[in-house]
Amino acid sequence: MENKIVLITGANSGIGKAAALKFATEGYRVVMACRNMVISNAVRQEIIEASKNVQVDLMELDVSSFDSIRAFCSAFKAQYPRLDILIHNAAYLNHGEKAFKLSPENIELSFATNTFGPFLMTQLLADHLEKSQDPRILNACTTNIKHFFDPKRKIDFDNLQGELLGKQLNNAYTMYGDSKMALLMLTFKMAETLKPHGIKVNALQINRVKLSKETIRKMNSFWKVLAWTQNLTNPLPSGMADNYFHICTSDEYKNVTGQLINHKRQIIQPSTSEQGFSQVKNIFGSGSYPNYATDPINVKKIWDLCISLTKTG
Ligand SMILES: NC(=O)c1ccc[n+]([C@@H]2O[C@H](COP(=O)([O-])OP(=O)(O)OC[C@H]3O[C@@H](n4cnc5c(N)ncnc54)[C@H](OP(=O)(O)O)[C@@H]3O)[C@@H](O)[C@H]2O)c1
């Protein structure tokens, strides 16, 4: 196999770490893009030993910071001839967090990390992806966007830069779901704009996976207990890492773009009805996603906001 290059953000923990191991074991050149270099370097050594592949590199990246993304992308382009696979895996969610946290550019932290960061990275790396024979991007989404089956739910576009700071209680869980909904909407638009360049963009709807000790340690006591309890039955990250690998490398997905794929590797569709029994199926099943995500007005709003905040227009 030729040495394909895969870039995974947040590859020091959970699904990202399992994915780095999977790609390395399969002989890919893996670039782990992480923010904590001490912890991540130890993880890199672990992956090299377990995979017997020395082509596992580590680069510093804080996905919530536009400056860090810009520096990272310049360094990446200087070091590698092209990019074959880009996996936006890193995410911010601190269950139970009450404070409204802002990124270095004063953007709400979930949106900075989970939406605007991946957008800017994609914009800056698109020309490098274009040099690949089969470039693919995967966005890590979540079943939490299902809360958008709530008819009243909408992204609070007017509160993404701390406009309501101190006037409204922050709900980290809601912000996380909203930022991932925005990432799904970007997936559709990115797929459209990158299609002429041969770059495929899809999203994976991740349902539930065991959380790492490090991630649980950051939670407050209530969420810690809940997370440990859920971990008793949640599957290992390796299963979801296999999904990352399959979507980004298999012939089955070679020509698939602009889709949301569920944990069973099925391409899923927006709901056709959000009422009555259909809605029960939408919420408890895994075969549909809220049609809020396909509303062209919402998609344009988040796309335009991405361009203006990242100054990439
Ligand atoms: N586990 C689940 O049940 C589940 C369900 C639905 C969706 N997902 C999605 O799956 C993906 C992986 O989640 P996981 O469960 O594997 O979580 P995890 O173990 O907590 O991993 C998240 C990773 O993102 C990194 N990260 C967070 N903020 C960052 C930043 N600003 N810059 C760079 N890296 C940053 C973390 O680095 P640090 O170690 O430095 O914090 C960590 O490596 C996420 O996108 C998540 O939303 C997971």
Ligand 1 centre distance from Cα of residue 160 (Å): 20
Mean pLDDT within 252-276: 97
Q: Model confidence at 220, in pLDDT bands (50, 70, 90)?
A: confident
Residues in the chain: 313
- pLDDT single digits (tens) 96-151: 888 889 999 999 999 999 999 999 999 999 999 999 999 999 999 999 999 999 98
What's the structural domain count of the chain? 1
Ligand 1, CB within 6 Å, residue ranges: 9-10, 12-16, 34-36, 61-64, 89-92, 113, 140, 142, 206, 208-209, 211-212, 214-215, 237
Mean pLDDT within 50-69: 98
Query: Is pLDDT of 166 > 80?
Result: no
Compute the radius of gyration of the chain from its Cα atoms.
Answer: 18
Ligand 1 centre distance from Cα of residue 35 (Å): 12
- pLDDT single digits (tens) 82-93: 999 999 999 999
Query: Whose C-alpha lies nearest to ligand 1, atom 1?
Result: 209
Q: Model confidence at 94, in pLDDT bands (50, 70, 90)?
A: confident
The pLDDT score that the predictor gives to residue 2 is: 62
The pLDDT score that the predictor gives to residue 122 is: 98
Mean pLDDT within 257-285: 96
The pLDDT score that the predictor gives to residue 225 is: 94
Ligand 1 centre distance from Cα of residue 211 (Å): 9
Query: Is pLDDT of 65 > 90?
Result: yes
Query: Whose C-alpha lies nearest to ligand 1, atom 14?
Result: 14
Query: Whose C-alpha lies nearest to ligand 1, atom 26?
Result: 90
Residue 5: what are its φ and ψ, rounded to 5°?
Answer: -105, 125
CA distances from 276 to 55, 144, 268, 272, 282 (A): 52, 20, 20, 12, 10
Mean pLDDT within 145-159: 92
Ligand 1 centre distance from Cα of residue 196 (Å): 31
Nearest ligand 1 atom to alpha carbon 140? 45
Query: Whose C-alpha lies nearest to ligand 1, atom 47?
Result: 91
CATH number at residue 258: 3.40.50.720
Active site residue 176: yes
Query: Is pLDDT of 262 > 90?
Result: yes
Mean pLDDT within 272-297: 95
Ligand 1 centre distance from Cα of residue 56 (Å): 19
Nearest ligand 1 atom to alpha carbon 15? 16
Mean pLDDT within 140-165: 91
Query: Is pLDDT of 197 > 90?
Result: yes
Q: List the domain range (segments joined by +) for residue 259.
A: 5-310
The pLDDT score that the predictor gives to residue 96 is: 81
User: Could you say which of 28, 92, 176, 253 is catalytic?
Assistant: 176
Query: Is pLDDT of 308 > 70?
Result: yes
User: Which of 206, 211, 229, 243 should be mutated for ligand 1, with most atoms under 8 A from CB?
Assistant: 206
* Closest to 72 (Cα-Cα) out of 29, 19, 31: 31
User: Which of 7, 8, 13, 240 should be mutated for ligand 1, with most atoms under 8 A from CB?
Assistant: 13
The pLDDT score that the predictor gives to residue 168 is: 78
* Closest to 138 (Cα-Cα) out of 151, 121, 162: 121
Q: Which tokens is 137 given?
A: 């991007």
CB–CB of 262/282 below 8 Å? Answer: no
Q: How far apart are the first and last CA of the chain?
A: 38
Query: Is pLDDT of 169 > 90?
Result: no
Query: Is pLDDT of 1 > 90?
Result: no
